[in-house]
Amino acid sequence: MTNGKLQIIPLGGLGEFGMNCMALRWQDDIVVIDAGLMFPESELLGVDIVVPDITYLIENREHVRGILLTHGHEDHIGGLPWILSELNVPVYGTEFTLAFVEGKLEEHKMLDETELIEMIPGGRFTLGPFTIEPIRVTHSLVDCVALAIETPVGVVVHTGDFKIDLSPPDGKAFDLHKFAEYGKRGVLLLLQDSTNVDRQGYTPSEWSVKPRLDEIFSRTKKKLFFSCFSSSIYRMRIAMDLAFQHGRKVAVIGRSMVESSEVAQDLGYLDIPNGLLIHPGQIADHAPENVMVLISGTQGEPMSALSRAAVDNHKHARIAPGDTVLLSSRVIPGNEKSIYRVIDHLYRRDAHVIFDDGHAGLIHVSGHASQEEQRLMINLLRPKFFIPVHGDYRHLKKHAEIAQNMGVVDLAMVIEDGDVVELTKDDIRKTGTVTAGRVCIDSGSTGDVVEDLVIRDRRHLSEDGFVIPILTINKLTGMVERQPEVISRGFVGGDPELIETARQVVARTLEESSAEEKADYGVIKEKIRIDLKRYIQKNTSRRPLIMPVILEI
């Protein structure tokens, strides 16, 4: 029991980018805002994704009334399959957000057992003591909302991810008037996106990239490979509009890009002229100057469509000398090495590469508010208390300082994952902590969840052992010097027949890989790991830790 105090309990997203998840509690009722994931750092071997530790929610599962989703990005919905495996509660989201969620839950065979409830911007609904109104905001994804939550002690506004775009491509503008209304009525607490707190001024509209992209389309004489985040429906729409204007057919390549574009078409966010789309297998049937390939893989993911095309290992995406590759995205910190490796391969194919290097012009805009938009929201809502969310600690600290120095809020407070903050109508204070942290996931199974990476590795080693494929490569010639070896420990008793077949799997992967793939250690290691994992699981139902090793001589 909370004795007449509202509790704010962040479980993820405060102190890091990703795995956004926050609980609001009044007595015996809890609502959860977002259920995101984050992608692991490179040293987390064998980990596919990271989700928040929800021990607190599991311990209080009978009090959780539902999960409210602000929008459909992975750092806000990606943890749902693992959280819903522990909590059977309704999930609320806008139409587009729930369409993304449906695909995710269907993949994990959880769709039929999950209650999905659409919430409409401007519509109000009640969960226990909470009355929730979604408010239309703009972001890099469509159909995003902030949440105004009426509680027994006052109104809490959670902005979700936002920027103030008054002329977005879909015409569904940021609802400044609704925020102003709440400001006049009185807001107890504002929880606001801190991502771009280091950027002065305003974030440009999504439309602002169109003139520069139009110029690139005009100058491109051969095929144009256009890559953006697969969730960037606005960018996808602008690219397809320009392709139509410039007489180019469009082929969509990459699973995430295909799925996103299909959802956007079904819900009316992409209006594609008849005859514009072609099957990827038809690219060669058209003159290069009449084709645009919309392709996924802006962050250099080893097995993405663009990464494979860059090393000439994609069935349909063939990059020829003189083709143009446009990366209409930012470089996410931590992905620099992977992205620049792909760019190097593209240059080796004699492609023209345009990316956000500071000289390309406006080919990408952020989906997050800059300082003046953050200040505008604080002035509109005039909250009594302010807590920054969505950012590293330095972002939260700076955002709190900006809010406090405006002279509008009584108190701006920085909190982190696991902190418990209690509010009354007149007071806010930290009162304790709950269990919080990161849970590492091997996404091959919703059941493969562990609370600590060391425990996970120890369990793998003790139960399933490990397999180490070893390649010996001449660092001067780049050639594989001898047949690969496979070493195992604690795995099926070292069955010589199975190990020999595993070695053949590795050898076959090498034979089927191009010279460029073999030269890219990140790509070839990932291919070997995937092929070997697939073979071992099929033949043994075991899940050993697979760690490819390359020895240079």
Binding residues: 46, 48, 71, 73, 75-76, 139, 161, 364-368, 390, 442
Cβ atoms of 125 and 131 within 8 Å: the answer is yes
Q: Is 236 left (phi over 0), alpha (psi -120 to 50) or beta?
A: alpha
**368: annotated active-site residue:** yes
Phi, psi angle pair for 480, to nearest 5°? -75, 120
Q: Count of alpha carbons within 13 Å of 352, Cβ hemisphere only? A: 13
Q: Which of 368, 395, 399, 460 is catalytic?
A: 368
Tokens at residue 467, please? 């397999």
**Which residues, in sequence order, are CB contacts of 82 under 8 Å at separation 6+?**
51, 439, 441, 446, 449
**419: annotated active-site residue:** no
Q: What is the DSSP letter of 370?
A: -
Cβ atoms of 250 and 261 within 8 Å: the answer is no
Other C-beta atoms lying within 10 Å of the C-beta of residue 88: 12
Binding residues for Ca(2+), as ranges, are 46, 48, 442
Q: Which of 193, 241, 419, 464 is catalytic?
A: 193
Binding residues for substrate, as ranges, are 364-368
Residue type, 147: L
Candidates 504, 467, 462, 472; CA nearest to 487 is 467
Looking up tokens 């446009």, which residue turns up?
326
Looking up tokens 């969505």, which residue turns up?
390
**Alpha helices per DSSP H over 392-472:** 393-405, 453-459
Spatial separation of the C-alpha atoms in residues 311 and 345, rounded to whole Å? 6
Tokens at residue 188, please? 């107890």
Looking up tokens 């069935």, which residue turns up?
315
Residues with active-site annotation: 193, 368
